Amino acid sequence: MTTVITFLSDYGYRDEFVGVCHGVIAARCPTVRIIDLTHGIARHDIRAGALALRAALPYTPAGVHLAVIDPGVGGPRRAVALATRDGNRLLVGPDNGVLQPAAAIFGGIDQAVDIGDSPERLSSQSTTFDGRDVFAPVAAALADGVALDAVGKQITPESVTTHALPKARVDGDALVAHVLAVDGYGNVSLDASPQLATSVGITSGAALDVQTTTAHAQAHHGAAFEHVAPGELVAFTDSRGALALAVYRGSAAQQLGLHPDDELRLRAR
Amino acid sequence: MTTVITFLSDYGYRDEFVGVCHGVIAARCPTVRIIDLTHGIARHDIRAGALALRAALPYTPAGVHLAVIDPGVGGPRRAVALATRDGNRLLVGPDNGVLQPAAAIFGGIDQAVDIGDSPERLSSQSTTFDGRDVFAPVAAALADGVALDAVGKQITPESVTTHALPKARVDGDALVAHVLAVDGYGNVSLDASPQLATSVGITSGAALDVQTTTAHAQAHHGAAFEHVAPGELVAFTDSRGALALAVYRGSAAQQLGLHPDDELRLRAR
Amino acid sequence: MTTVITFLSDYGYRDEFVGVCHGVIAARCPTVRIIDLTHGIARHDIRAGALALRAALPYTPAGVHLAVIDPGVGGPRRAVALATRDGNRLLVGPDNGVLQPAAAIFGGIDQAVDIGDSPERLSSQSTTFDGRDVFAPVAAALADGVALDAVGKQITPESVTTHALPKARVDGDALVAHVLAVDGYGNVSLDASPQLATSVGITSGAALDVQTTTAHAQAHHGAAFEHVAPGELVAFTDSRGALALAVYRGSAAQQLGLHPDDELRLRAR
Q: Is C11 in Cβ contact with A4 (below 8 Å)? A: no
Q: How far apart are CA B46 and CA B77, in angstroms?
A: 13
Question: Is residue A93 within 8 Å of A102, Cβ to Cβ?
Answer: no
Name every chain C residue with its beta carbon within 8 A of the beta carbon of B27.
59-61
Question: Is residue A46 within 8 Å of A97, Cβ to Cβ?
Answer: yes
Kindly state whether B205 is in contact with chain C, defined as any CB-CB distance less than 8 angstroms: no
The reported pTM is 0.95
Q: Which chains touch C (3 or more CB pairs under 8 A)?
A: A, B
Kindly state whether C182 is in contact with chain B, defined as any CB-CB distance less than 8 angstroms: no
For this complex, say whether ipTM is above 0.90. Answer: yes
pLDDT of A226: 65
pLDDT of A188: 96
Question: Is residue A176 within 8 Å of A166, Cβ to Cβ?
Answer: no
pLDDT band at C131 (very low <50, low <70, confident <90, very high): very high
- Mean pLDDT over B108-130 rounds to 94
pLDDT of B93: 98
Q: How far apart are CA A94 and CA A161, in angstroms?
A: 9
pLDDT of B226: 66
B221-252: b (≥16 Cβ within 10 Å) or e: bbbbbbbbeeebbbbbbbbbebbbbbbbbbbb
pLDDT at residue C2 tops 60: no
Residue C38 distance to chain B (closest CA, Å): 5
pLDDT band at B1 (very low <50, low <70, confident <90, very high): very low
- Mean pLDDT over B137-157 rounds to 98
Give me the residue from B42, B61, B183 closest to A26, CB to CB.
B61
Give me the residue from B55, B194, B241 closest to A16, CB to CB.
B55
Q: B79-91: per-residue pLDDT in tens?
A: 999 999 999 999 9
Q: C43-90: per-residue pLDDT in tens?
A: 999 999 999 999 999 999 999 999 999 999 988 999 999 999 999 999
Average pLDDT, chain B: 94
pLDDT of A223: 57
Is C241 exposed, middle or buried, given 0-12, 13-18 or 19+ CB atoms closer than 10 A?
Answer: middle
Q: What is the pLDDT along chain A (269 residues), one digit of tens a residue?
A: 458 999 999 999 999 999 999 999 999 999 999 999 999 999 999 999 999 999 999 999 999 999 999 999 988 999 999 999 999 999 999 999 999 999 999 999 999 999 999 999 999 878 889 999 999 999 999 999 999 999 999 999 999 999 989 999 999 999 999 999 998 889 999 999 999 999 999 998 899 999 999 989 999 998 566 667 888 899 999 999 999 999 988 899 999 999 999 999 999 99
Question: Is residue B246 within 8 Å of B233, Cβ to Cβ?
Answer: yes
Q: Is A52 in Cβ contact with C16 (below 8 Å)? A: yes
Question: In sequence order, what are the beta bridge partners of B47?
Answer: none
DSSP calls for A10-49: S--SSSSHHHHHHHHHHHH-TT-EEEEEES-S-TT-HHHH
pLDDT of C226: 66
Give the number of other CB atoms < 10 A from CB of residue C58. 12
- Mean pLDDT over B114-129 rounds to 93
Percent of chain B past pLDDT 70, that is, above it, reads 97
Q: B55-78: per-residue pLDDT in tens?
A: 999 999 999 999 999 999 988 999
C-alpha torsion B203→B204→B206→B209, nearest 10? 60
